[in-house]
Amino acid sequence: MTQEFIHTTVLLQEAVDALVTDPSGFYIDGTFGRGGHSSKIIQALGPKGRLMAIDKDPEAIAYAQVHFGDEPRFEIEHGSFSEISHFAETRDMRGKVTGVLLDLGVSSPQLDDPQRGFSFMHDGPLDMRMNTSVGESAAEWINRASEAEIADVLYHYGEERFSRRMAKAIVMERQASPILTTGRLAKIITDANPRWEKGKNPATRAFQGIRIHINKELDDIEQCLDQALDVLAIGGVLVVISFHSLEDRIAKRFIRKHVKGDEHLPAGVPFTQSMLNQRLRSVGKAIRAGQDELNANPRARSAVMRVAVKCA
């Protein structure tokens, strides 16, 4: 029997309260995971409301089919949220979607299951793919990439300041034998880290960087946000929950850009507000988990939620 790993959904009520403005609307949960947000969204819908979920992970799809299969207002697509425009268009919902929710990053079941290869705490196959049916695994990449490429990934996606030392150690170690497990990679990285951050595993940043690279996470976020503007109806809500600075920076800049509008109007030429082509209106300040949620779920400490409404 396959072990079922538990996922505690972060900012659950806050996200659904911001998202569901019309119980009869059509909503998209771009990151189904184990259905925490989807379940709450469905509870907020009326008989005519609909929810489409998306997930890369075949295990998430299987979970949805078992636990949500009898819900007529729900459907799920196996794929990336970077395909959100395609999924909406096949349902004739482009420009008609009431709300889009993106809960970014990796889910707890992926982190907690050593067989998925995300964890530096428990030994397992070095995989890290959210969609295990396609693409290059972390083991395949780590054993073929150049030292410079590994260093760049750890630095840019993991924000790891000792990326060059770690990349050099990885290349030296793989010459002896291929690096195939999370435990071995974590030890190599840990041994190459001369200055550990208090309260943080020394392999944390490097594993984050590799995971983001393997799954093309930041590219997917940028593509999805651009498409979200097209699929949302006027007045439609965009909710984005991020778990590290790279994700949040993309969401923050995207919202700010479309709140500000057109920056290329000629200097000195009078213009009206409507000429700015402002496509989003930011709703409130960034929201973080409260103390009660932090006490119950320490992984919520880095979560940031941003909300915007499409206005043009």
Cα separation, 22 vs 53, in Å, equals: 18
Collapsed DSSP state (helix, strand, coil) of residue 47: coil
As given in the structure block, the two tokens for residue 63 are 């979970």
> 234: exposed, middle or buried (C-beta count within 10 Å: 0-12, 13-18, 19+)?
exposed
* More confident call, 273 vs 28: 28
Burial (CB count within 10 angstroms: exposed 0-12, middle 13-18, buried 19+), residue 72: exposed
Exposed/middle/buried for residue 125 (C-beta within 10 Å: 0-12, 13-18, 19+): middle
Tokens for 293, please give them: 């949620």
CATH number for the region 12-109+217-310 comes to: 3.40.50.150
> Any binding-site annotation on 35?
yes
CB 225 within 8 A of CB 255: no
Residue-by-residue DSSP string for 117-168: S--SSS--BS---SSTTSS--HHHHHTTS-HHHHHHHHHHTT--TTHHHHHH
Percent of the residues in the chain that have a pLDDT greater than 90, as a whole number: 75
* pLDDT tens by residue, 21-72: 999 999 999 999 989 999 999 999 999 999 999 999 999 999 999 999 999 9
Backbone φ, ψ for residue 59 (5° rounding): -70, -35
110 is in an annotated binding site: yes
pTM for the model stands at 0.88
Q: What is the pLDDT of residue 269?
A: 57
pLDDT at 5: 45
Contact 88, 97 (CB under 8 A): yes
What is the model's pLDDT at position 275? 55
Instruction: Report pLDDT digits (tens) over 193-240.
Output: 999 988 889 999 999 999 999 999 999 999 999 999 999 999 999 999
Please indicate if the annotation marks 55 as binding a ligand.
Answer: yes
What confidence tier does 158 reach under pLDDT thresholds 50, 70, 90?
A: very high
Residue 282 CB-density burial (10 A; 0-12 exposed, 13-18 middle, 19+ buried): middle
pLDDT score, position 234: 97
Mean pLDDT check: name the lowest of 143-152, 213-222, 234-243, 260-269: 260-269
Note whether 129 and 169 are within 8 A (CB).
no
Residue range 277-285: mean pLDDT, rounded: 91
User: pLDDT digit string (tens) for 106-145?
Assistant: 777 777 788 888 888 889 999 999 998 899 999 999 999 9
Element (H, E) at 242: strand 232-242
The answer on whether 235 is annotated among ligand-binding residues is no
Which of 102-111, 150-159, 274-283 is modeled with the greatest confidence? 150-159
Is 81 marked as binding a ligand?
yes
Mean pLDDT of 241-251: 94
pLDDT at 277 over 80: no
Crossing angle of helices 36-44 and 12-19, in 10° steps, is 40
Check whether 84 has a pLDDT greater than 50.
Answer: yes
What residues does each domain of the chain span? 12-109+217-310, 115-215
123 is in an annotated binding site: no
pLDDT score of 266 more than 70: no
Average pLDDT over residues 173-182: 97
Q: How far apart are CA 200 and CA 18, in angstroms?
A: 32
In sequence order, which residues have a C-beta less than 8 Å from that of residue 120 and are 6 or more positions away?
182, 185, 186, 189, 201, 203, 204, 207
Say if residue 117 carries a ligand binding annotation. Answer: no
Closest CA to 105 of 124, 118, 88, 90: 118
Give the CATH architecture of domain 115-215: Orthogonal Bundle (1.10)
Average pLDDT over the chain, rounded to an integer: 91
Query: Residues for the chain: how many in total?
Result: 312
